């Protein structure tokens, strides 16, 4: 099986930009948030972030904390290079690592204020409109309950970390360097990455 890169990190850290860049490099794009959006639509709920958090947590309570990763696995079975965005629970990482021999978890970071400004700029429906609201929503995504979002705990499991305090060109360069490194490791050692 080819390389699968998982993305984790706080809101507006740049995960979507990295996924798009990897897509331009031939990776198929997948997101655990897509699983949640599909379920929200099935349940007739809005696809605003607040509702998506609730639906994701409900799915984890009903199906176990790794359920979203389990649901995405069939989409990754074609053997091609893929990226999985929006990994928010340590159990999701375990499911992906246990089932994908070439899985690398990439943590994406940026300062809170920088991420808040990006959040305001992209203006998604239901996103917080003040820095305090943004910080409060982030705290909500860092529960101690293993059946909910645990962004900080998930981030600690990252195999590699990219700091995204710069512009998009610098982020793309960092992703390209990481891909070169992973391809080099892959060619020299057929054992699982990292």
Domain positions in the chain are 4-184
Looking at the chain, the whole-number percentage of residues with pLDDT higher than 90 is 70
CA nearest neighbour of 27 among 82, 102, 106, 77: 82
Tell me the CA distances in angstroms from 95 to 12, 100, 164, 178, 188, one per residue in order.
Answer: 25, 8, 27, 23, 26
Please report the pLDDT score of residue 137 as a whole number: 87
CA angle in degrees (0–180, nearest 5) for 52-56-149: 105
What is the average pLDDT across 52-56?
88
What is the average pLDDT across 37-60?
89
What is the average pLDDT across 154-172?
94
CATH superfamily label, 4-184: P-loop containing nucleotide triphosphate hydrolases (3.40.50.300)
Residues 6+ apart with CB under 8 A from 95: 66, 69, 70, 73
Please report the pLDDT score of residue 184 as a whole number: 83
Residues 6+ apart with CB under 8 A from 42: none
82: phi then psi, degrees, rounded to nearest 5:
-145, 160
Looking at the chain, the whole-number percentage of residues with pLDDT higher than 70 is 95
Asked whether residue 47 carries a pLDDT value surpassing 60, the answer given is yes
pLDDT band at 174 (very low <50, low <70, confident <90, very high): very high
Residue 187, SS3 per DSSP: helix
What is the average pLDDT across 122-148?
87
What is the average pLDDT across 23-39?
94
Mean of the per-residue pLDDT values of the chain: 90
Strand partners, 31: 85
136 and 190 in contact (C-beta within 8 Å)?
no
Please report the pLDDT score of residue 187 as a whole number: 56
């Amino acid at each position: 099986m080819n390389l699968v890169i998982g993305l984790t990190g706080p809101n507006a850290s740049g995960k979507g930009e990295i996924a798009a860049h990897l897509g331009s490099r031939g990776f198929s794009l997948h997101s655990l948030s897509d699983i949640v959006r599909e379920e929200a639509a099935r349940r007739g709920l809005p696809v605003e972030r607040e509702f998506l958090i609730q639906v994701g947590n409900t799915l984890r309570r009903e199906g176990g904390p790794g359920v979203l990763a389990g649901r995405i696995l069939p989409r990754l079975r074609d053997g091609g290079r893929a990226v999985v965005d929006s990994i928010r629970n340590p159990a999701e990482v375990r499911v992906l690592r246990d089932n994908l021999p070439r899985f690398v978890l990439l943590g994406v970071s940026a300062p809170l204020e920088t991420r808040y400004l990006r959040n305001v700029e992209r203006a998604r429906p239901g996103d917080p409109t003040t820095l305090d609201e943004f910080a409060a929503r982030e705290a909500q995504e860092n529960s101690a309950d293993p059946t909910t979002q645990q962004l900080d705990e998930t981030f600690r499991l990252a195999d590699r970390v990219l700091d995204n305090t710069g512009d998009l060109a610098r982020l793309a360069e960092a992703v390209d360097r990481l891909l070169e490194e992973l391809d080099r490791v892959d060619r020299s050692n057929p054992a699982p990455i990292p």
